[in-house]
Amino acid sequence: MKKYGSFSGTVTMIQDYLVGSDEELKGCFKLMSLVGDDGSVVNFVISPTTYFLDHVMVSVGDTVTGYYDVNVPVILIYPPQYQALIIVKNNPYQHVKVDYFNSQLVSSDGQLQLNISSYTLVLLQNDQSFTLSPANRNLLVVYGPATFSIPAQTTPYKIIVLC
């Protein structure tokens, strides 16, 4: 099971990233640098399999959140460099949570519970319908208002099942 970490910041640089001498891979990987509100810097390696929510184009100056697997070993350099699994372009009108949700659709940190409605889109990363229950899976959840209870409850706009 993946455990997701995240870092939010403003994109300061996007450049090609070489992963080897294979000519076919040239230009397929990018290095994206983010600066957080506190001035901290993180680099994300963007691969062809990195999922961009809503398939948006990200540019220098955009505010984004990058998600990575905290259980994957990383090289000890500064600034830290993570393999990006998911990139979300931040939007003031929506919230995003990437986590494991149990059989009651409560996130692993116990902070969010999902109430799925008939209007909630449940999709795969390739935008095809997911027809089973999203319970007991890693999910990317896009939602708006939530209750102030613990766990907060929300009816998500969209759920992306991370298979």
Same domain (yes/no): 20, 71:
yes
User: How many Cα atoms occupy the beta-carbon half-sphere of 44 within 13 Å?
Assistant: 31
* pLDDT tens digits for range 97-139: 999 999 999 999 999 999 999 999 999 999 999 999 999 999 9
CB 102, CB 108: distance < 8 Å: yes
Q: Rounded CA gap, 143 and 154, in Å? A: 7
Same-domain pairing of 156 and 80? no
* Judgement on whether residues 71 and 105 belong to the same structural domain of the protein: no
**End position of a domain, from candidates 89, 111, 129:** 89
**Same-domain pairing of 15 and 81:** yes
The whole-number pLDDT of residue 20 equals 77
Tally the domains of the chain.
2
Residues 113 and 44 in one domain: no
Instruction: Show the domain range for 132.
Output: 95-161
pLDDT at residue 57 is higher than 80 = yes
The verdict on 25 and 71 lying in the same domain is: yes
* Parallel, antiparallel or unpaired: strands 41-46 and 81-83: parallel
